[in-house]
């Protein structure tokens, strides 16, 4: 599909990033592995030059996988020479760019699994990326409401450790008191919305949302399949009977907002989400369902005490906030400035990471963003409400 990229492209593009932004500019005498790769594996950097169209990436059968792997080895070896030859002073200057490249590759580790899931879902045999034995149906913890105090609050990255440029500057804003749900919305709860005619009730939808749902024929989340009157869900472990206790995933912003309206609630703003997440213990990844859990699928919520559960991992959570710049944000000079800033229009912020997010890659200030109609990524719903 137009939004997805083949695995081979992810492998080559993350390599191209290091070659383009580090080796070509900072390693004297570096020879590119293949000059055609600058065109094939550029994602969206206009300042770097023209590129192969994203919707047609899946049509490129050459270079072969072996040649892409040779490309990675070539660039890895050159990066080792760069780090060795540069010296401590130069390496300090390059450290931020190298760290960005590593985090960029982690982003693609996540995207790669999302794209594999979509490709496998199009196969009528519903192959499993990671076969597992069928599990018993889950039981989610009862949904509770957690009060969060408003007032003048600070959000955004404070500059300690790595963050993407769109996570800052840290700034203050005024929040009203609000409540946030203790866990994500479940499959069973979303089924209630569907059975109540939620997809056919314009009162719950944005106009763009209901028109998109009608045009695309939406009547269930992206990977749900109705077979002989029973609901199933396609996962990275193949097609499974729908588990009502697991979080509902692969819904668009339009569906998330419609469900919230049907439930008489709303989605949290990204500032509300971050302030609620700030109540979590310091080690936010402890017990979180991220890539290293090996599940590759959201898990049922456990009791969270007086703090919201599932804020980190399981599913990226739609917020009610448009993706835009924070006060004081400035786009970096040069092509690297296109990394995030050029997308700050017509997209919606998601927070919290998901079950295929690499460990060490998520923060409560992390701002992901997708278009409101997109559903192929691991996206879910958490409700919020005024106090």
- pLDDT tens by residue, 243-281: 999 999 999 999 999 999 999 999 999 999 999 999 998
Q: CB of 4 within 8 A of CB of 115?
A: yes
C-alpha Rg value of the chain to the nearest Å? 22
For 234, the enclosing helix (H) or strand (E) is strand 230-235
Rounded Cα–Cα distance for residues 213 and 218 (Å) = 5
- pLDDT tens by residue, 87-136: 666 777 799 999 999 999 999 999 999 999 999 999 999 999 998 877 77
Protein fold of 145-386:
3.90.1580
CA angle 357, 165, 175 (to 5 degrees): 85
Ranges of the chain whose pLDDT falls below 70: 86-89, 304
**Cβ count near 208 (within 10 Å):** 12
pLDDT value at position 89? 66
Which residues are paired to 154 by β-bridges?
Answer: 172
DSSP string across 310-351:
SSSBSSEEEEEEE--PPTT--PPSSGGGGTTGGG-SS-EEEE
Torsion of CA 87, 90, 92, 97, to 10 degrees: -120
Whole-prediction pTM value? 0.95
Find tokens 């004297």 and name the residue.
Answer: 28
pLDDT value at position 102? 97
pLDDT value at position 88? 65
pLDDT value at position 132? 83
169 preceded by a cis bond (ω within 30 of 0): yes
Q: Tokens standing for 285?
A: 């990844």
Rounded Cα–Cα distance for residues 278 and 151 (Å) = 14
- pLDDT tens by residue, 57-75: 999 899 999 999 999 999 9
* Residue 133 phi, psi dihedral angles, 5° rounding: -70, 145
Rounded Cα–Cα distance for residues 182 and 199 (Å) = 25
Q: CB of 188 within 8 A of CB of 246?
A: no
Cα first-last separation, the chain: 42
pLDDT value at position 304? 63
Q: Tokens standing for 341?
A: 């800033």
The structural domains of the chain, with segments of one domain joined by +, span: 7-121, 145-386
How distant is the alpha carbon of residue 328 from its chain centre? 25
Helix (H, G, I), strand (E, B) or coil at 271: helix
């Amino acid at each position: 599909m137009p939004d997805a990229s083949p695995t081979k492209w992810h492998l080559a593009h993350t390599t191209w990033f290091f070659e383009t932004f580090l080796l070509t500019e900072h390693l004297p005498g570096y020879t590119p592995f293949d000059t055609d790769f600058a065109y094939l594996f550029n994602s969206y950097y206009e300042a770097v030059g023209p590129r192969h169209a994203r919707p047609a990436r899946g049509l490129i059968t050459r270079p072969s996988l072996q040649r892409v792997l040779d490309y990675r080895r070539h660039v890895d070896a050159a990066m080792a020479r760069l780090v060795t030859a540069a010296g401590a002073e130069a390496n300090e200057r390059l450290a931020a760019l190298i760290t960005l490249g590593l985090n960029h590759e982690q982003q693609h580790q996540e995207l790669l699994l999302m794209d594999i899931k979509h490709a496998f879902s199009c196969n009528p045999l519903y192959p499993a990326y990671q076969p597992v034995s069928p599990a018993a149906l889950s039981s989610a913890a009862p949904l509770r409401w957690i009060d969060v105090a408003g007032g003048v609050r600070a959000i955004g990255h404070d500059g300690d450790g790595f963050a993407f440029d769109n996570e800052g500057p840290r700034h203050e804003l005024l929040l009203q008191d609000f409540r946030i749900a203790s866990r994500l919305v479940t499959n069973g709860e979303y089924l209630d919305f569907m059975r109540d005619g939620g997809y056919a009730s314009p009162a719950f939808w944005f106009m763009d949302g209901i028109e998109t749902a009608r045009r695309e024929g939406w009547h269930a989340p992206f990977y749900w399949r109705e077979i002989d009157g029973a609901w199933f869900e396609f996962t990275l472990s193949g097609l499974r009977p729908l588990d009502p206790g697991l979080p509902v995933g692969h819904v668009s912003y339009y569906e998330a907002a419609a469900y919230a309206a049907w439930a008489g609630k709303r989605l949290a703003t990204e500032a509300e989400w971050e302030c609620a997440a700030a109540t979590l213990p310091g080690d936010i990844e402890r017990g979180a369902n991220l890539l290293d859990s090996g599940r590759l699928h959201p898990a049922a919520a456990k009791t969270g005490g007086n703090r919201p559960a599932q804020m980190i991992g399981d599913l990226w959570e739609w917020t009610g906030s448009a993706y835009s710049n924070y006060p004081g944000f400035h786009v970096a000079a040069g092509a690297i400035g296109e990394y995030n800033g050029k997308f700050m229009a017509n997209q919606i912020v998601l927070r919290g990471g998901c079950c295929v997010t690499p460990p060490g890659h998520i923060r409560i200030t992390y701002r992901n963003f997708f278009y409101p109609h997109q559903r192929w990524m691991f996206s879910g719903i958490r409700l919020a409400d005024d106090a």
